[in-house]
Structure 1
Amino acid sequence: MIVSYNLKGVGDTLLIVVKNSEEKEVVSERKGDVARVTIKETGEVVAWNVFMASEKISKLEGNGQINLTEEQVDKLNEVIKEAGFDATVEVDNSPKFVVGFVKECNKHEDSDHLNITKIEVDNGEELQIVCGAANIKQGLKVVVAKVGAMMPDGMIIWPGELRGVASFGMVCSARELGLPNAPEVKGILELPESAVVGSAFDFNMDVNA
């Protein structure tokens, strides 16, 4: 589940994305200041929009993807119920941009530029990610946007498939992360050896240090 809030860019609306609805027809039902978005064919909930959100949920701050406190989640569910929807939402606040270690990197059999990687992201957890960066290689420490991450440009990371191979995340460049003074050269951001695998990525890091 992705929660985002951007007062200047979007207005006073809390956006909660539950599932990927790409290439599916969706419908919206609004009750008061709450709208529920569902897949038309199945009725599956894919998103919630809470309008005038700051008047209902205190201390909302952010410029994109945000983490809600337990108190804010409780209030959110209260707002949804008071609007007349019999539903609750559960929020995952685990880091979505983390330090990863490239354990394996092999050429994609059906591509001249893609690589299939196995990247450790935390306590032995490994993700298979298809990556097209020229500088990807075994042994690097990199920034991984896990499934459920919202990139600075608003793109959401979902499970995908590239040339027939499943991919569960994205290995990021400094420019994709929106880092200040990001180098113009293409390629993923290579982190120092001291970076701790599984730790949340620090967006305030100086990539030129």
Structure 2
Amino acid sequence: MIAIYNTHLNDVLMLITGDNQGEKLTATRKDNVAKVMREDNGQVVAWNFFDASTLFPITGNGQVDLSDADVDTLNGAIKVAGFEDVLVPDHAPKFVVGEITSLVPHPDSDHLNIAQVKIAEDKTVQIVAGAPNARVGLKTIVALPGAMMPSGALIFAGQLRGEPSFGMMASPRELALPNAPQKRGIIELAGSEVPGTAFDPVKHWQK
């Protein structure tokens, strides 16, 4: 669940809860709450809360962090508006240290590879990537589904050339790190980094 607040949207808090995959959307608004769904299958992909600052204090523009109390307040607004849906808080980090444990060429591409990436002691995900410096044993930063990149791009699970991909391995430039090189390539971390550790720009980038 990605929360975005922008004063240019006239005090609207938008929650992105799913991937519309380019499909047409429809919305139902009741009072100050709008439920946004895909037309093809009815999947809820977003919520809009109008006059959001009347619900709880919101500071800044762009992506915002919601506390459990904030989510409870939003669920209250959803219920009062007459919807039966319930939002579930998600505080798991979306940018974490990952370790490439396997790397094979993509069968339908001359520049992509299929990587198995360890993102926790007991969890490995598949990521399709074209980074020229990707290699087995490399520790890097992984943007998991539900992440919002500094550019505003949203990360969802999907497919690249027919192969499932659950996130992306990020470059210093994509992470908007200072003095990031402009050449292609994912960020390279020290071998001592532990998969699953939340990304810390100060710790993981010292150039």
TM-score by length of 1: 0.90
Query: Map of 1:186-205 to 2, 5 A cutoff?
Result: 186-205=184-203
Structure 1 residues 143 and 73: alpha-carbon distance in aligned structure 2, compared to 1, 3 A threshold: same
Q: Which residue of 1 aligns with 2:128?
A: 130
Q: 2:31 & 2:202 partners in 1: Cα distance?
A: 39
Q: Please, what is the CA RMSD of the aligned residues?
A: 1.9
Q: How much has 1:159 moved relative to structure 2?
A: 1.3
Q: Could you tell me whether the CA contact under 8 Å between 1:179 and 1:204 is conserved in 2?
A: no
User: How far apart, CA to CA, are the structure 2 residues paired with 1:61 and 1:122?
Assistant: 32
State the AA in 1 paired with 2:135.
K
- State the Cα distance separating 1:40 from its structure 2 match: 2.3
Contact 1:181 1:208 (8 Å CA) reproduced: no
Give 1:11 shift. 4.7
The Cα offsets for residues 51-77 of structure 1, whole Å up to 9 and x where unpaired, read as: 22122123x345433332111111111
Letter in 1 for 2:4: S
TM-superposed CA distance for 1:131, in Å, is 0.7
User: What letter matches 1:51 in structure 2?
Assistant: F
Structure 2 Cα separation of the partners of residues 122 and 61 of structure 1: 32
Report the CA distance shift for 1:173/1:10 in structure 2 as closer, same or farther (over 3 A).
Answer: farther
Q: Secondary structure at the residue paired with 1:153?
A: coil
How far apart are the structure 2 equivalents of 1:186 and 1:171? 12
* Deviation digits for residues 159-187 of structure 1 (CA, Å, limit 9, x no counterpart): 11112211111000011111122122221
Deviates more, 1:10-19 or 1:174-183: 10-19
Question: What's the CA shift for 1:47?
Answer: 0.9
- The 4+ residue runs of structure 1 with deviation greater than 4 A are none
Partner of 1:5: 5
Q: Distance in 1 between matches of 2:52 and 2:33?
A: 9
Aligned sequence identity (%): 45
In structure 2, what is the Cα distance between the partners aligned to 1:200 and 1:109? 32
- Per-residue deviation, 1:135: 0.5
For residues 168 and 200 of structure 2, the distance between their equivalents in structure 1, rounded to whole angstroms, comes to 17
Name the amino acid aligned to 1:80.
I
Alignment CA distance shift 1:76-1:126 (3 Å): same
Indicate the larger mover: 17-26 or 141-150.
17-26
Q: Give yes or no for contact 1:174–1:182 (8 Å, CA) kept in 2.
A: yes
| Structure 2 length-normalised TM | 0.91
Gaps of 5+ in 1: none
1:113 aligns with 2:137: no
Aligned position for 1:50: 49
Instruction: Please name the residue that 1:103 is paired with.
Output: 101
- The total of aligned residue pairs comes to 207
What is the DSSP-based 3-state SS (H/G/I as helix, E as strand, rest coil) of the residue aligned with 1:190? coil
SS of 1:110's equivalent?
coil
